[in-house]
Amino acid sequence: MRSVTVGTLTPSSSAAAALRAQLRETGLATVAVEVTEYCRSRTDWQTRRFLEVRPDIILIDAEDVPAALTSIQVLHTAIPSAWILVCTKAADTDTILKIVRAGARELLPMPLQQESLSQALHRHIEERDREEKGDSNANGKIYTICSAKRGSGATTMAINLAASLAENTSARVALIDLDWPLGDAAAFLNIKPRFTVADALGSVARMDSVLLESYMHKHDRIHILAGLDNFPDGDAFDTAAVAQLLEVVTQTYTHAVVDLPPSVPRQLFQMATSMSSAIVTVITPDLLSLRRTERLLRVFSSFDVSDRVRLVLNRSHKSNEITDSDIEKALRQPVASKVGNDYYACLEAINSGKAVLAMSNKNLSRNYRDLAGQLMGQTRDKRRGLLSLLPRTSVTL
């Protein structure tokens, strides 16, 4: 494995020596230049030292945060190809955002741990190797979850579909909350992410896989980009920024579930659905949902994405007054999947901050897993039942 060249910027010679020792210990890096004063401009001697060497990675000790911010901006502009890793004690969101937006690729908490440093170097090497081989992860699939009627269970559907997809050990699953004006996925899972989709969109101009993952919150194998946590002052999400964000998502994850309400601007709604491999449209067995869904399907037809629509009947029960056949006849669209009606199981999961799959309800869990299997192209043979438990025997004719 070819090592990477590293330039270090630290506030003292002793800090430089300690960092040099840690880098040597990884066995992955060669220190090409050491600078012990923060950069102030592109023309000062500190910056010129880095320009002479142009290291793969620049590691900055942000002991003096304002000075470090200036250095990050100067070096990111001067050597845009270099990964800037920042060691910092900062824990407040505002400072972290300033560091990221200045040009940092990753933040390494201080005191610096050998494992964190090694992992960051490995990520750089893996991305470098992918670029050299011309490999691309742009095959990730997007599944958009929407519903024509509020309260139909689209967010619950998105969370549990993501959880079902994540059960596949080879899958890397993202849950992107684009609900407007507030996102509820984080609240449903009782998590308090440091960042929201607004933070990611604010840095979208230089978004890549590493930066994207720094905004994600990992929860039970799902990488979550939380929705807005405060009512926004301005207009809805910028369509071009969301498109760029979703493009990086497909390069980073094998499957992405997007919670997307039709209340976002039509242009954004069209863009997101056109990027989707499947549009999971949630309907409930009531007249209002039926009528609203019929209008939504007309919108999909105007977008020319009708072939991607997967109609999912939520809160399905055999005693429903409006039957599956009634729905299919009215909408001229087959019901692709059904999820049972168990209000208390869903409420228990929400109050516990978990997906339904993590609870004990087998019927709902099976419904969500069946839907995930359909989207991934898997089929389940319902006829096998207990026969699948018998040992297989080979017969020679």
Instruction: List the single range of 124-133, 208-217, 302-311 with lowest mean pLDDT.
Output: 124-133
Instruction: List the single range of 23-27, 100-104, 188-192 with lowest mean pLDDT.
Output: 100-104
Residue given tokens 């509820």 in the structure block: 184
The pTM of the full predicted model, rounded to 2 decimals, is 0.73
Query: SS3 of 61, please?
Result: strand
pLDDT band at 50 (very low <50, low <70, confident <90, very high): very high
- Is CATH 3.40.50.2300 what the domain over 4-133 is classified as, yes or no? yes
User: 4-133 with 141-375: one CATH topology?
Assistant: yes
CA atoms of 274 and 215, how far apart (whole Å) = 25
What is the side-by-side strand order in the sheet with 4-9?
29-35, 4-9, 57-61, 83-88, 106-109
Write the DSSP symbol of residue 306: G
Tokens for 124? Answer: 């750089």
Q: Where do the structural domains in the chain lie, given as residue ranges?
A: 4-133, 141-375
* CATH level 3 topology of 141-375: Rossmann fold (3.40.50)
* pLDDT, tens digit (0-9, with 9 covering 90-100), for 209-221: 888 988 999 998 9
Q: Compute the residue count for the chain.
A: 397
Over residues 370-374, the mean pLDDT reads 94
> What Rg, from alpha-carbon coordinates, does the chain have?
25
* pLDDT, tens digit (0-9, with 9 covering 90-100), for 211-253: 898 899 999 899 999 999 888 877 778 999 999 999 999 999 9
In the predicted model, is pLDDT for residue 383 greater than 50? no
Task: Please report how the helices 239-252 and 266-274 are oriented relative to each other, as an axis angle in degrees rounded to 10.
Answer: 20
Nearest to 8 by CA among 66, 70, 75: 75
E strand map for the chain? 4-9, 29-35, 57-61, 83-88, 106-109, 141-147, 173-177, 217-219, 222-225, 255-259, 278-283, 309-316, 335-340
pLDDT band at 380 (very low <50, low <70, confident <90, very high): very low
Nearest to 32 by CA among 13, 51, 11, 12: 51
Over residues 72-101, the mean pLDDT reads 91
CA atoms of 10 and 322, how far apart (whole Å) = 69
